[in-house]
Structure formats: C-alpha cells, structure tokens
Structure 1
C-alpha cells in the first residue's frame, strides 16, 4: 500500500461510521424479515423480483445478476425456497442449461406479507433518523459512489436493481 492509498484520520472515521451503520442496518432488516415473515433478506429479494417480473418468473441467471450473486449460490437458495414451496422451477425450452424460476401462490403470499413490515422498518431505522435534506444529499452521494465503482462491479451488479424494495403490486 502506498502512502497515497492510506486514509486520513477523518476519512477513516467516516469509513468506519458508514461501515458500522451499514452492517447494523443490514442486521436490523434481516431480523425484521425473520421475525415478521420467516424469510431471509435474500429470499425476500428473490420473491420481490419474481413478483415484479412478467408472468412472475425469471431465469436463474437473471436472478443471480439482480441480487449480485454467483449462479451456484442462487441455485442453492432457490433449491431451499423450492422445498418450502415459495418458488417452482421449470425447464427453459430455448436453453437446455437454463431454467425458469416462478413464484408460487405461497411465495406471493409470503412476499406480500413481508412488504409492510419491511417498509415500516426502513422508515424506522433509516428515514426517521434523517432530515429531508440529509436524504436528498445521501441520494446524490450514493449516486456518485455507484458511478465511481462503475464497471468494476458490472459483472455482479444488479441489472435494474430492485434492492430491498417497496411496492410489489
């Protein structure tokens, strides 16, 4: 590491505060999902994406791209969700290596049940701690950080990220 890569004391303080905030927020939201719906945050992400998708189904690779996971990890998650009756797999007629993952009625009920509690937790843990101008500034700052990351994360970046979302009509 060169000296130019080192963080100043104030930069380190900002980074640590952000890191702790992000980890605690993730943990609080994970606990809320488990408590209110019996879902993990990852299961919710998959169910939410399927609920928003045309015909409530997506290809496995699209789910992987959407949540930024490797296909094998998504496959394991989908297998667990399939055993619980939340999703169903169907062969892809145009690609023998691929499959469609579809939302089952139980999966739809689960995601719809989870949304209200999730939005309430996001409000309580995140937005209630911010002033309106903080939220506007955070929106701009988040965009700048995402832009700075750019192509470096494109392979894993969510395409049309629905990231722990709101409306699931």
Structure 2
C-alpha cells in the first residue's frame, strides 16, 4: 500500500529526484567533453571562485561537503592530472593548500562555459518568470538553514 504524499513531501521528492536525474545527465556531458566527474568539476569550480584560486584542503572539503578522506582522494586524482597542486600551508605546516594550476584554470573555465550553456537549455526554461523570486527565496533559505551558500562568495577573487 502506498501512502499518499503531502504537497510538501511531493516538493521534496520532485526536487530530489529531478535534480539527481538532471545532474546525472549533465554529468555525462562533463565526463564526455572534459573528462571530469561532477565532484571534480565542483572542486575545480570552488577553487576558481576562491581568492588566489586556492583553498585549504579542509576548506575545500567543507565547500564540497565531503569527508576529509573523500576530498583527499579527489584532490589526489586532480593533482595526478596536473589540474591542481598541493602545498604545505605557510602559517601551519600541518595544513595543505590546494591551488588550481594553469591547466586546471583553463579546463574549468571551458567546462563552466559549456555547463552554463547546458543549464540554460535544460534547467532555466523550467523556471517561469513568476517563479524566480519565490524559488530563489526558497533556495537561499534552504542553503542558509543547512549552513551552506546558494551562490559563491562575492568577496572572493
């Protein structure tokens, strides 16, 4: 027996399943065209949007909402491809700084141009003009409630 969903439960499921399906489809394009997984794309984008294109390994893990072990493995794979470099922190030798290389910067800029174009085709038409303000308000409330940001830090760069 299936229990009926409340409208709020249906909103949750629609957002969860719709976002997951679209992300998987868009992820195929990132993999095919740029040899990047969604996680790798997000890591490079976080670095691109950070001051000096650098973050501490801990901050990067937090931005990605990854455990330190998962983040370490992700950074290692990006470093092996020459897209990032790791260096010991200048103020604390126990910390690692992760920075974009020129190759990483070039790749993430090109991938982002394509990804933004894909979003303009796939996602943006689903949001009517009258939907923008309430959906943006909801996205900001949700992000704030969860202690994350809905947009990059405008002071970065």
TM-score bracket, shorter-length normalisation: 0.7 to 0.9
Q: Counterpart of 1:162 in 2: which secondary structure?
A: coil
Please tell me whether residue 35 in structure 1 is matched to residue 29 in structure 2.
Answer: no
Q: Name structure 1 gaps, 5 residues minimum.
A: 1-5, 164-168
d(CA) in 1 for partners of 2:10, 2:54: 44
Q: Name structure 2 gaps, 5 residues minimum.
A: none
TM (norm. structure 2) is 0.83
Match of 2:64 among 41, 49, 67: 67
- Closer, same or farther: CA 123–69 of 1 in aligned 2, 3 Å: same
CA apart distance, 1:55? 2.3
Aligned-pair Cα RMSD in Å: 2.4
CA apart distance, 1:47? 1.3
Match of 2:88 among 72, 91, 102: 91
Structure with greater contact order relative to length (CA < 8 Å, sep ≥ 6): 1
Q: What CA deviation, in whole Å up to 9, does each residue of 1:54-85 have, x standing for no partner? A: 22221101111111111121111000111111
d(CA) in 2 for partners of 1:45, 1:122: 15
Match of 2:152 among 145, 152, 162: 162
Q: Counterpart of 2:93 in 1: which secondary structure?
A: coil
TM (norm. structure 1) is 0.78
Please tell me whether residue 14 in structure 1 is matched to residue 11 in structure 2.
Answer: yes
State the number of aligned residues: 152
- Closer, same or farther: CA 13–102 of 1 in aligned 2, 3 Å: closer
CA apart distance, 1:42? 1.4
Question: Residue 133 of structure 1 aligns with which residue?
Answer: 130
Q: Say if 1:127 and 1:135, in contact at 8 Å, map to a contact too.
A: no
- Closer, same or farther: CA 145–102 of 1 in aligned 2, 3 Å: closer
Match runs of 1:44-123 below 5 Å? 44-123=41-120
